[in-house]
Structure formats: C-alpha cells, structure tokens
Structure 1
Amino acid sequence: MNLGEKIRYFRRVKNLSQQELAAGICSVPYLSKIENGVTEPSEEIQHHLAARLDISLNYLNENEIIHNFVSLFHSIYLRDYPSAKDKYYALINLPPRSVDEDILQKIFKSIYIMMTTEEIPGVESLLNEVSYIEDVIKGQKAFYYFLAKGLLSYLKKDFEEAIKYLYKAEKFLEEYHHQEWEKGYLFYMIGLTANQLYYSIVGLEYTKRALDIFEKSYYFRRCADCRVIIAIIHLRIRNFDESVKQLRLAETIADSFNDKELKGVIYHNLGGIANHKGETHKAIELYIKSLEAKEKEPLFSKVMTIYALIKEYEKIEDNEKGLVLIETWLDQVTENPLYREYELHFLYHKHIFTHGKHNDSSINFMIKELLPYFEQRNEWVHLSIYYPIVGSYFENTQKYKQASKYYSMAYNALRRLHDLGVTYV
C-alpha cells in the first residue's frame, strides 16, 4: 500500500472529506493527486496530513505489530480472560500508527468480542471497514481476517459461508508458518462448522487433527472440546458406544478442572444419546443436570438444552412443566434476534402444551411464521419434523390435497438430509 493509499484509507476511517483533510494544508485537487499516487507530497505536507489524521506515515514492521495482537489471541485461546482483557484494552486504547496496525486492530477486536462473548453487534461493521482494502487479503493478515470472517458467519449460523472463509484461512497456514496452537484452533473451527453442516467425514478429519495438536501441547480443555464434537458425530451415525466413550473422556477432563460449563455440555450430549435410544426419563434427568451445571452461564450456552428439555416434556405430555420452562425463558430468546429460531420453537410448543396437538392455532402459526423462517434458511432438519405435522393435520381434517402437498415437502426435506449424510432427525 503506497503513501497515497494510506492517506485515503485513514481519511475514510476518520470519516473526513477531502475538503476537511486538505483545509489549510493543500488544495483538494492536490490531495486527490496524492491519494491516487500521481504525485509525492513534500515532507512538510506529509507531516501536516499525518498530524491531522493522528497517524504515522512511516513504515512499521508488520511482524512486530502482529506479534502483539497474536499474544492477545493466544490468551483468548487459552481462555485466560483476565490476561486477554488487559492485553485487549492496552492495544485498543492506542491510536493506530499505520494502516497495517489499524487493520489488525479491527480484526483482533472482532475476534476478541466474538470469542469472549459470542456476540456480533458491531463486529460486521468493523470487518467491513477493512474488507474493501485489497491489501487486507494478502500476507499474514489474511489468515486472521478470514478466521474472523469465519467466526462471524458461524455465529450468524451461516455455516456454509463460515466454512468457505475458514478454508481460505487454511491456505495461509504453511506459507506464513503459523504456530501449532493457531493451526489447532483453525482445525477445531473447521471441524465444528462441518459438524453443523452434517459433513461427518470432514468434521471427524479436522477435529481429530485439532485433537492431535491439543494433546501434544497438553491443552486438555481444548481436547475435551474436540471429544465432544467427535461424540456428536458418532451419535449422528448411531454409534452410541463410541459417542459415550468420547463424552466420558471429556468428563474426566471436566472433573479435573472442575469445569461446570464443560460438564453441562457433556450432560447435554449424554441426554441426546438417551433421547435417541428412547430413554426419555433418563434424557430429562441429564438435560436438567446440564442446566444446573450451566446455571451461571449466558443464555447461548443453555438455549439448546432448554429446547431439548421442552421436547422431552412434550413426549411424556407433561404440559405443566413444559409451559413453566417456556414462560421462564421465552422473553429472553425474544429479546435477541439471534435466538429467533428458538423463539419459534418455543412458541410452537406453547401452542401444543396449551391447546394440544393438531389444533387450528398451532397450524396457522406454523404456516404463517415457523415454516417460512426455516424454509428461507434451508433448515431441512426442522422442516422434516414440522412438515409431517401440518400434513397430518390436513389429512385428519380431510383436506387431502393440502395434506399431500406437505407430505411431499417432508419427503423432499428428508431427501435433502440424506444427501447431507444425516441418518436421524
């Protein structure tokens, strides 16, 4: 990036017009020539422009700049949040002295926010500010940029977009000799995302590669995270014994560190195994244990377990407990658009617990709100469950044409799942 490009970059970042930057320093046409690389300004004009932009136009070693930010990333990776917080504010409170530093500051600010809070407000605008700079997708910065974009897409539940960015990040691993822990974290994220996409083989491959790196560095908590993913994939292919084995190995680590959040994740997945083996009451016990272990955790770590427990209460027709659970959490999921999926699930079950199955109220809600949302997002797992319910309702009310329509849509959803390699819903 030449001098003119740097000046133009920071002028846009500072939200200044050419007239505002040039005022009292040079003419607007002259500034335009500088930004377009047509002319080289004198040292005096460079000094005045840099002062107004509050930057340094001198070259700074990119490797030295990256080192400080990678140290922050490493603390987050280790889940050493007090250290990460100190490093974060030390770096963020310093005004960027160069374009590289400003770009890295935005990228790592995004990574810090996402990895410590799993929240995304403001993150997209930070990454958009640097995305139009062609130079950002070159060099060592590209790895962190694509990793950040992958994390953002993952948290937005756009898993197909997420894995594309993570694969792009992977291309920079060997070229710039990233550290083993960085490779491990990227492989873990690819495995995690592949799992969400039901790419079982890819998920297992990358998660095992991450696990191998974490075991060699004795980072056992990350090892436990990997074993949970491997357990979920084995559950998906109905290899229950291997799934339980992986979860018990993860539980040993959770016990060693008294990690209640991890134990909550393990209990949730053991509940999932009990559910798919038809052991409803055991599943309920495990989901309740999961919520107890995650009591002090934020909503995003609990919402899947809450929904799983609601479904188990529906199975045993315990409407009272189901309604209490929904009323306890519905307002919280409604407040955050990221939980729109769970809001719809909760509202559907509220209809069921209140009015019973196959009623006009629940079917109208499904047709008008629930199904369109999941259709727009191609959520075939949920659609394969909900379509037959609507089809059965119309069949029971002797509206056979409409029943046939929804049964056909259910078949198509199951076919899509089969193409993805999903063996159960």
Structure 2
Amino acid sequence: METSEKIKYFRKTLNISQQTLALGICSTSYLSKIENGQTVPSEDILQLLGKRLGVDLDDENHNQELELLIDDWTKSILFKDVELARNLYTKLKNSTITNIEHRLRFTLSQTLFYLMVDPKPRIAKKHFNEVIILEDLFKNKSRLYFFLVKGVSCYYEGKYSESYKALLSAENLIFLLKLHIWEKGYLYYLLGLVTNMLWKNIASLDYTRIALKHFEENYLFKRCADCRILLGIINQRIENWEEAIRQFELAATIANAFDDDKLKGSIYQNLGYIESKREHSESAINYYKQSLDYKQNQPSLSQVKTVYSLIKEYANLNNSHEGMMLVEKGLKLTQGNKSLLEFNILISYYHLVFSLGKNHSTTFEYLKSEVIQYFEQKQNWVYLAEFYQVAAKYYENEFKYKQSSTFYSKAIMAMNKLN
C-alpha cells in the first residue's frame, strides 16, 4: 500500500479530520493532495504525520510469516476449527501489524470470527462497520475478502439478495488473484448456499459442485460433507429423490468417519424430510428421532427444527399423545427467544391442533390471525404455500367456496413466488 493510502487509512481509523492531522504540520489542502497521491511529502512532514498518527509510515515490512498466520487464522474460522481459531486470534492480537493490507485482512477476519466461531453479532457488526468507511482502500486480496465478509454478514442477517450481490463481486476477482484452493472452494460454497436460499436451483447445483471439487482436491472432507448435504437438499427440492439420498449417504460416510454429531444431525434431518415428502410418516419419524439424538448438545434453533418436523409427522398420524409431548419440548425451547419466534408460533398452532382439532374454529382463527399474518409480514412463501392450502381446505369443508377459492389462489401465487 502506498504511503498516501497509509496516511488516509490511519487517519480514518483514528477518526481524525484532515484539519486536525495537518494542524501545525502542513496545510489541509496539502494533506489532501498527499492522501490523493497528487504530491509526495518531504521526509520531515512524513515523520511528523506518522508521529501524530502513532505509526511508522516508512515501514514497508511485508512480513510473509504474518501473512501466512492471517491466512491460517482465516482458514480455521471458515472451517470452524474453534480451538485453533481462538489460539491464532490471541497470537495475532498480541502482534504488531504495520502492513495495511494485513491490518485490513485482520479486521475483516475479526468480523468472521464473531459471526462463526464466537457468535457475538453486535461485535461482528462493529468490526465490519470499521472497514466499510475504508472501502476505497481495499485492493487485491483484502478487496475480495471485503466482499466475502459482506456476503457472509448479509447471509447471517437473512439478506440473501444482498449477500448474493456481494459474493458475485468477490467471484469477479477470483481469477485476478493468487488464492488458495480452499479459499476458492469456500467462496463457491457460499455462493451455493445463498443461491439455494434464493431458490436458484441450477445455479446452486453448479456452485456447490465446483466447491466440492476444490474441497476434494484439498482433502477437506468435512467441507465435502457440507457440499454433499447441500447437493442433497437441492435434489430433494426438485424431487430427484434417489440422487438426494445418494448425496446424503455419501455425506454420512464422512460424518461417521469423523464421528461428527453435527453432520449426522443434519443428514438424518434431511433423510426424514425425504420420507415425509414421500408420505412415509413412520420412516420419517425414525430419521427425525435419530437427528434429534445427535442434536442434544446443539443450539436451540437446530433442535427445534427437528422437533417441529416430528410434530408435523405426529399430526399426520393423529397421534396427539406423542405430538403434545413434543409440543411441550418445542415451546420450552422457543419461550422468550425472539430469534425463534416463528417456531413458537408454528408449535403453538399445533398445540391447538392436538388439543382442539385441526378444524376447530379456535384453531383456524389462530392459523389465520397469527400464523398466516406473521408469515405474510415476513413474505415467507414456503410456509404461506402450505398454510394457505390449509385455510382453503377449512373453508371448503365449511361450504364457503368463495373464501376457499381465494386461499387456493393465494397458495398458487405463493408457489409461483418460490418457482
């Protein structure tokens, strides 16, 4: 990084105005020309500016060891090697990082660290906000990482379109830079994830296959399993059941080899979903129960997804006894947790289904005023496509065909939104 950019970087990170930095050293207009690369300052001015900023502006030490350390730390974060990520973070925090490219990469990776390793969204947001104001300084690899981190941040916030846009900007730089295979693989994996969330099935398949190829070349087997799971999910969405099962079974081979309960929980959850879609409720329940066993030590969100899946299957079988026990478990997991509000609403609906019946007026009023209204506000077409049909069927049974037709039309609209 040029000296002009260094001065601009440190001034901005210290939140110092040009007037304040220039005071007693040079004119503000002269400092502006220095920062814009329009003039080269004398050695004396350079030393005075550096002293006021508290840095050595002459230091051009591109420490290869430090760069490798930051790469290793970033890799440990992206591949969720928690212990290594924590140890390397401690080491880097105690290091003196004078190279601006390294400092930018370090700050960006701090955002990832507090999103993926030590989840603290507010701290992650703070670190990312620190670098947004410096976007014009990002070059080379740090620029690619800026877009990658922006993509990850937006993905965690559920802003999938924004995430996709940022990741595409990162992809545009991928062939201009010298990157590790694992870096390319992870970027393509992220693109596969976000296009999956946007229901861009073909794009998601393509990105995930590229990511899988890179991970296999680097023998990153757990990430290979993640790719297999994602490929299974996409294939099950387009009802290519046999290929979906094949991908999940390949992922299970890796999960068993590493005795990875998190992977097993995800795999059995998806196998249960396939059986549910095939209307094999008993088989689906067996898979979901295995998934829940592996998720006992995982976060509430992971557990409650499987609990809800089991509740739906017991509702299909009219098994109120087993269903109510899981409803109680689900409500306990979601109570007071704003991030799990949608599952609290869904499980509360099934509490009424089991206790009063699906066609009871109280159950239906809750469905219409709480469940459907909530997901309309969220524009969650997956749930709306399902519950619009439930409402349409209710009105049909009540011989209210006009209302029934309205909700069937809404269900078709929701499915078209998904497609």
Contact conserved, 2:18 with 2:31, CA < 8 A, in 1? no
Work out the percentage of aligned pairs sharing the same amino acid. Answer: 35
Partner Cα distance (2:369, 2:53) in 1: 52
CA shift for structure 1 position 305: 1.7
Equivalent of 1:26 in 5, 14, 23: 23
Partner Cα distance (2:363, 2:310) in 1: 20
CA shift for structure 1 position 178: 0.8
Cα gap change, 1:2 to 1:281, in 2 (>3 Å)? same
Other-structure match for 1:70 = 71
Q: For structure 1, which segment, 97-106 or 174-183, has the greater mean C-alpha deviation from structure 2 after superposition?
A: 97-106
Report the residue type matching 2:13 in the other structure: V
Contact conserved, 2:304 with 2:333, CA < 8 A, in 1? no
CA shift for structure 1 position 292: 0.7
Report the residue type matching 1:249 in the other structure: L
CA shift for structure 1 position 353: 2.8
Other-structure match for 2:210 = 209
CA shift for structure 1 position 229: 1.3
Q: Secondary structure at the match of 2:257?
A: helix
Other-structure match for 2:257 = 256
Q: Secondary structure at the match of 2:140?
A: coil
Cα gap change, 1:317 to 1:214, in 2 (>3 Å)? same
The higher relative CO (CA closer than 8 Å, separation ≥ 6) is in 1
Partner Cα distance (1:356, 1:210) in 2: 47
Cα gap change, 1:119 to 1:247, in 2 (>3 Å)? farther
TM-score (norm 1): 0.85
Cα gap change, 1:214 to 1:3, in 2 (>3 Å)? closer
Contact conserved, 2:376 with 2:384, CA < 8 A, in 1? yes
Other-structure match for 2:234 = 233
Cα gap change, 1:33 to 1:350, in 2 (>3 Å)? farther
TM-score (norm 2): 0.86
Structure 1: give runs of 5+ residues left out of the alignment.
Answer: 421-425
Partner Cα distance (2:286, 2:107) in 1: 44
Other-structure match for 2:271 = 270
Other-structure match for 1:423 = none
Report the residue type matching 1:381 in the other structure: V
CA shift for structure 1 position 403: 3.8
Cα gap change, 1:125 to 1:340, in 2 (>3 Å)? farther
Other-structure match for 1:57 = 57
Other-structure match for 2:86 = 85
Other-structure match for 2:168 = 167
Q: For structure 1, which segment, 306-315 or 262-271, has the greater mean C-alpha deviation from structure 2 after superposition?
A: 306-315
Partner Cα distance (2:347, 2:90) in 1: 39
CA shift for structure 1 position 293: 1.2
1:323 equivalent to 2:324? Answer: yes
Deviations along 1:136-162, one digit per CA (max 9) or x if unpaired, are 453221211111111122222222222
CA shift for structure 1 position 222: 1.5
Report the residue type matching 2:237 in the other structure: R
Deviations along 1:153-208, one digit per CA (max 9) or x if unpaired, are 22222222222222211111110121111111111121222222222211221111
Other-structure match for 1:286 = 287
Structure 2: give runs of 5+ residues left out of the alignment.
Answer: none
Partner Cα distance (2:322, 2:390) in 1: 23
Deviations along 1:48-68, one digit per CA (max 9) or x if unpaired, are 654554444345456846443
Q: Secondary structure at the match of 1:297?
A: coil
1:105 equivalent to 2:106? Answer: yes
Cα gap change, 1:301 to 1:58, in 2 (>3 Å)? farther
Q: Secondary structure at the match of 1:140?
A: helix
Contact conserved, 2:114 with 2:123, CA < 8 A, in 1? no
Cα gap change, 1:396 to 1:37, in 2 (>3 Å)? farther
Q: For structure 1, which segment, 116-125 or 85-94, has the greater mean C-alpha deviation from structure 2 after superposition?
A: 116-125
